[in-house]
Amino acid sequence: MLGNIFRIMTRNRLRTTPVPGIRDAYTGIDFNLGYHVRSYHLDLNYRVGPNRLEGIATLQLDNWQDLPSMTLDLSPALRVTRVTATGSAGVPVRVARFRQSGGKLRLSFAQPVPVDTEFSLVIRYAGTPKPIRSVWGDLGWEELENGALVASQPVGAPSWFPCDDTPDEKARYEIVVTTDNPYIVAVNGTLLSKRSSGSRTRWHYRVGHPMASYLATVQIGEYIQLMLSEPDATVPVRAWVPPALRDSARAEFADQQRMIDVFTELFGPYPFNSYSVVVTEDELEIPLEAQGLSIFGSNHIKGDHAWERLIAHELSHQWFGNSLGLAQWNDIWLNEGFACYAEWLWFEHSANRHATVSAREHYEELRRKPQDLLLSNPGPRDMFDDRVYKRGALTVHALRVLLGDDAFFRMLRRYVAAGAHSVVEPVDLKREVLAAAAEVGVPETDVKRLWHAWLHEKTLPEFPR
């Protein structure tokens, strides 16, 4: 039974292993089973003053099992007023009824939708968007003192649109936002058009590559644009910043283009069409990544390079986490371990401070902390614990030491290329490591011993030498 329910078809799903049960063990939220969303078209009308959002979400789907009913994730703060469906290839699809409960939009069809049907849903909804409360804090759409931002990892996307909010379900996106002047709207992807009418402006963006729902973002504020790259740069780099922070932002992000160049050399081509940073007027506890875009608070932009490591960290997520997405949340170290290691690599190239120095410092810090965490499965409360980040980075460093620099970076570029714009699991990295080890004569047993010690044992292994 489960084998049929969770059968994986290459054109429908990106992950290589079946869904592990009917509920996400990390988020505690039931999976939305039986279908795949291929694209979202979000047409949003937002009033900044009253924090009022009206939306029309058009979803293109296909299903991998017969669907008498289905669910989507959506915050109860947003009320659905109408849902219509359209089938294709002569297959009629009609929504008989819908209701909202338990953070889900629940649809029942007049007749079951036959397997392998392509169909669309148009969902009209409205409300006062607010963050979703979770064990990781309040996530999703957040009203600012002067605008709004979206930071959704891992469960905040339903705070602003109906979606299948699980990391391995990537889809295409078009996002249209109409809002009040003089506010700027920064969204993932490429700006296709900007049209003003009276006191409001319509911004239309298209995301050029598949994206996980938690990486979709909308940033609204009274910003000015700074170009951080040269006019002929392969990857345009820009910043959206409050006018008062213009000079300090230019100083803080002066090395942003150089960072892209260094990481492109180490990891392979930058995976998206452009890169943007947004600096909010509000202070933020930590910077945040989205696909093709990173968000910083005004407290991170002092012009003194105090947060340089985090600028490198967020940029590296464009490779590790955004292009190479996660299949499931227990593998979060694949995102954060590589992003943390990228910080050390940046300083290796910019300040001649070898990653071994950074690794040793953080290893000594880890030794003084409780050793009760499994990197391969840290649990939901510890998935963003600093020990996951640093132990993940040390695992990457241990692999580098084992393989040697030439083989390690060749392996890394192969791994990045193989998983581009899809999802990866530890088995994908391990496969590339084993292949690299064979090329340079490192015994397979050495790889497996290292892998087990760092990922599957709680005790901190010896420092890599």
So which residues are the catalytic ones?
314, 389
Q: What number of CA atoms fall less than 13 Å from residue 133's CA on the CB side?
A: 2
Could you give the CA distance from residue 149 to residue 186 in angstroms, rounded to a whole number? 10
Range list of H helices, 19-155: none
User: Two tokens at 434?
Assistant: 């084993």
The first and second tokens of residue 455, run together, are 């990922």
The conformation of residue 136, written as its DSSP 8-state character, comes to: T
Q: With the C-alpha atoms ordered 373, 377, 378, 383, is the resulting torsion angle positive or negative?
A: positive
Helix or strand run (H / E) with residue 33: none
Segment holding 167, helix H or strand E: none
Q: Residue for token digits 């490198």? A: 312
21: left (phi over 0), alpha (psi -120 to 50) or beta: left
Do the beta carbons of residue 353 and residue 360 sit within 8 Å?
no
Q: What angle do CA 287, 153, 70 make, to 5 degrees?
A: 160
Phi, psi of 363, deg, nearest 5? -60, -45
Cβ of 252: how many Cβ atoms within 10 Å?
A: 25
CA atoms within 13 A on the CB side of 429: 26
Gyration radius (Cα) of the chain, Å? 22
**CA 460 to CA 465: how far, in whole Å?**
14
Helix (H, G, I), strand (E, B) or coil at 56: strand
Place of tokens 């050390």: 344
Q: Is 317 annotated as a binding residue?
A: yes
C-alpha to C-alpha distance for 393 and 81, rounded to whole angstroms = 47
**Angle made by CA atoms 377, 395, 435, in degrees to the nearest 5:** 100
204 among annotated binding-site residues: no
Q: Provide the annotated binding site.
A: 313, 317, 336
Q: Provide the annotated binding site for Zn(2+).
A: 313, 317, 336
